[in-house]
Amino acid sequence: MTDNAREPRASLDTRYSDEAATARPWPEVLALLSAAELFWISTVRPDGRPHVTPLPAVWSEGALHFCTGPEERKARNLAGNAHVVLTTGTNTWDEGYDVVVEGEAVRVTDDSRLRELAAAWEAKYGSFWHFDVREGCFRHGSGHAFVFSVAPRTVFGFGKGEPFSQTRWRFSREDQ
Protein backbone atom coordinates (compact mmCIF):
# COMPACT_ATOMS: atom_id res chain seq x y z
CA MET A 1 0.00 0.00 0.00
CA THR A 2 1.42 3.38 -0.92
CA ASP A 3 1.44 6.36 1.40
CA ASN A 4 -1.01 8.18 -0.91
CA ALA A 5 -3.54 5.32 -0.61
CA ARG A 6 -3.81 5.99 3.12
CA GLU A 7 -5.13 9.57 2.86
CA PRO A 8 -7.01 10.10 6.15
CA ARG A 9 -9.96 12.34 6.95
CA ALA A 10 -8.87 15.57 8.68
CA SER A 11 -10.83 17.66 11.14
CA LEU A 12 -9.74 20.83 12.89
CA ASP A 13 -10.82 20.98 16.54
CA THR A 14 -12.06 24.56 16.87
CA ARG A 15 -12.09 24.28 20.68
CA TYR A 16 -8.28 24.27 20.69
CA SER A 17 -7.53 26.22 17.52
CA ASP A 18 -7.28 29.91 16.70
CA GLU A 19 -9.99 31.30 14.44
CA ALA A 20 -7.44 31.74 11.62
CA ALA A 21 -6.22 28.13 11.86
CA THR A 22 -6.84 25.53 9.19
CA ALA A 23 -6.22 21.79 9.19
CA ARG A 24 -2.74 21.08 7.93
CA PRO A 25 -2.77 18.99 4.74
CA TRP A 26 -1.90 15.33 5.32
CA PRO A 27 1.04 15.40 2.83
CA GLU A 28 2.70 18.08 4.99
CA VAL A 29 2.24 15.98 8.13
CA LEU A 30 3.53 12.92 6.29
CA ALA A 31 6.65 14.92 5.33
CA LEU A 32 7.16 15.82 9.00
CA LEU A 33 6.82 12.16 10.05
CA SER A 34 9.23 11.05 7.32
CA ALA A 35 11.87 13.64 8.22
CA ALA A 36 11.66 13.45 12.03
CA GLU A 37 14.80 11.96 13.55
CA LEU A 38 13.51 11.30 17.05
CA PHE A 39 10.22 9.94 18.34
CA TRP A 40 8.98 9.22 21.84
CA ILE A 41 7.19 5.89 22.18
CA SER A 42 4.63 5.27 24.90
CA THR A 43 3.79 1.70 25.88
CA VAL A 44 2.01 0.18 28.86
CA ARG A 45 3.70 -2.02 31.47
CA PRO A 46 1.97 -5.21 32.62
CA ASP A 47 0.85 -3.46 35.83
CA GLY A 48 -0.74 -0.61 33.82
CA ARG A 49 1.94 2.00 34.40
CA PRO A 50 3.10 3.93 31.31
CA HIS A 51 6.57 3.62 29.84
CA VAL A 52 8.00 6.33 27.57
CA THR A 53 11.37 6.34 25.82
CA PRO A 54 12.97 8.02 22.79
CA LEU A 55 13.88 6.13 19.62
CA PRO A 56 14.47 6.62 15.90
CA ALA A 57 11.75 5.57 13.47
CA VAL A 58 11.24 5.27 9.73
CA TRP A 59 8.05 5.98 7.78
CA SER A 60 7.47 3.41 5.04
CA GLU A 61 4.42 2.11 3.19
CA GLY A 62 1.85 3.89 5.32
CA ALA A 63 3.34 3.14 8.74
CA LEU A 64 6.00 4.15 11.23
CA HIS A 65 8.60 1.48 11.97
CA PHE A 66 10.85 1.17 14.99
CA CYS A 67 13.14 -1.49 16.40
CA THR A 68 13.96 -2.67 19.90
CA GLY A 69 15.85 -5.47 21.55
CA PRO A 70 13.59 -8.37 22.61
CA GLU A 71 14.56 -7.94 26.28
CA GLU A 72 14.01 -4.18 26.38
CA ARG A 73 11.10 -2.85 28.43
CA LYS A 74 9.15 -1.63 25.37
CA ALA A 75 9.37 -5.05 23.68
CA ARG A 76 8.23 -6.77 26.86
CA ASN A 77 5.37 -4.28 27.19
CA LEU A 78 4.30 -4.86 23.58
CA ALA A 79 4.12 -8.60 24.19
CA GLY A 80 1.17 -7.92 26.51
CA ASN A 81 -0.36 -4.80 24.96
CA ALA A 82 0.40 -3.78 21.38
CA HIS A 83 -1.26 -0.33 21.60
CA VAL A 84 1.32 2.45 21.27
CA VAL A 85 1.66 6.18 20.83
CA LEU A 86 4.59 7.66 18.90
CA THR A 87 5.19 11.40 19.30
CA THR A 88 7.53 13.81 17.53
CA GLY A 89 7.86 17.58 17.27
CA THR A 90 9.65 20.46 18.95
CA ASN A 91 10.13 21.25 22.61
CA THR A 92 8.92 24.84 22.32
CA TRP A 93 5.39 26.00 23.10
CA ASP A 94 5.07 28.85 20.60
CA GLU A 95 6.58 27.53 17.36
CA GLY A 96 6.75 24.31 15.41
CA TYR A 97 4.39 21.42 14.95
CA ASP A 98 3.96 18.32 17.10
CA VAL A 99 2.57 15.06 15.74
CA VAL A 100 1.09 12.18 17.77
CA VAL A 101 0.51 8.81 16.09
CA GLU A 102 -1.78 6.26 17.76
CA GLY A 103 -1.87 2.67 16.58
CA GLU A 104 -1.00 -0.94 17.20
CA ALA A 105 2.57 -2.24 16.96
CA VAL A 106 2.80 -5.33 14.73
CA ARG A 107 6.05 -7.23 14.51
CA VAL A 108 7.66 -7.41 11.04
CA THR A 109 9.35 -10.78 10.47
CA ASP A 110 9.59 -11.12 6.68
CA ASP A 111 13.31 -10.95 5.81
CA SER A 112 12.63 -9.31 2.44
CA ARG A 113 10.61 -6.53 4.06
CA LEU A 114 13.19 -6.20 6.83
CA ARG A 115 15.95 -5.70 4.24
CA GLU A 116 13.90 -2.85 2.72
CA LEU A 117 13.48 -1.31 6.16
CA ALA A 118 17.17 -1.77 7.02
CA ALA A 119 18.07 0.13 3.84
CA ALA A 120 15.61 2.87 4.81
CA TRP A 121 17.17 3.16 8.30
CA GLU A 122 20.66 3.52 6.87
CA ALA A 123 19.51 6.01 4.22
CA LYS A 124 17.86 8.16 6.90
CA TYR A 125 20.29 7.85 9.81
CA GLY A 126 23.64 6.91 8.25
CA SER A 127 25.98 3.96 8.50
CA PHE A 128 25.83 3.82 12.32
CA TRP A 129 22.33 2.41 11.81
CA HIS A 130 23.40 -0.32 9.38
CA PHE A 131 21.51 -3.54 10.05
CA ASP A 132 21.93 -7.00 8.63
CA VAL A 133 18.79 -9.12 8.44
CA ARG A 134 18.50 -12.72 9.53
CA GLU A 135 15.80 -14.94 10.98
CA GLY A 136 13.15 -12.23 11.16
CA CYS A 137 15.30 -9.69 13.02
CA PHE A 138 17.65 -6.78 12.51
CA ARG A 139 21.22 -7.78 13.41
CA HIS A 140 23.76 -5.25 14.62
CA GLY A 141 27.05 -6.45 16.01
CA SER A 142 26.38 -9.32 18.40
CA GLY A 143 22.80 -8.25 19.14
CA HIS A 144 19.48 -8.44 17.40
CA ALA A 145 16.32 -6.35 17.40
CA PHE A 146 12.66 -6.90 16.69
CA VAL A 147 11.12 -4.51 14.17
CA PHE A 148 7.58 -3.22 14.61
CA SER A 149 5.21 -1.46 12.23
CA VAL A 150 2.60 1.03 13.47
CA ALA A 151 -0.08 1.88 10.93
CA PRO A 152 -1.84 4.96 12.30
CA ARG A 153 -5.42 4.70 13.47
CA THR A 154 -5.53 8.32 14.59
CA VAL A 155 -2.97 11.10 14.22
CA PHE A 156 -3.09 14.42 16.07
CA GLY A 157 -1.24 17.54 14.98
CA PHE A 158 -0.61 20.53 17.23
CA GLY A 159 0.35 23.81 15.58
CA LYS A 160 2.20 26.02 18.03
CA GLY A 161 2.42 29.77 17.72
CA GLU A 162 0.18 31.93 15.61
CA PRO A 163 -2.09 30.35 14.71
CA PHE A 164 -2.38 27.62 17.33
CA SER A 165 -4.26 24.59 16.04
CA GLN A 166 -5.27 21.04 16.80
CA THR A 167 -6.07 18.68 13.93
CA ARG A 168 -7.12 15.04 14.00
CA TRP A 169 -6.67 12.66 11.07
CA ARG A 170 -8.65 9.43 11.18
CA PHE A 171 -7.88 6.41 9.06
CA SER A 172 -10.78 4.21 8.03
CA ARG A 173 -10.92 0.71 9.52
CA GLU A 174 -10.60 -0.92 6.09
CA ASP A 175 -7.18 0.75 5.78
CA GLN A 176 -5.91 -1.03 8.86
Instruction: Give the tens place of pLDDT for each residue, 119-152.
Output: 999 999 999 999 999 999 999 988 999 999 999 9
Q: Of the given ranges (3-17, 27-41, 65-79), which has the lowest mean pLDDT?
A: 3-17
Indicate the helix (H) or strand (E) that contains 166.
Answer: strand 165-170
Q: Does residue 1 carry a pLDDT above 50?
A: no
Cα gap 150→176, rounded to integer Å: 10
pLDDT at residue 6, rounded to an integer: 61
Q: pLDDT (tens digit, 9 = 90+) per residue, 98-126?
A: 999 999 999 999 999 999 999 999 999 99
Domain that holds residue 130: 4-175
Domain of 156, CATH number, reads 2.30.110.10
CA distances from 165 to 12, 22, 59 (A): 7, 7, 24
Q: pLDDT (tens digit, 9 = 90+) per residue, 45-74?
A: 999 999 999 999 999 999 999 999 999 999
Identity of the amino acid at 94? D
Report the number of distinct structural domains present in the chain.
1
Task: Residue 143: count other Cβ atoms within 10 Å of its Cβ.
Answer: 11
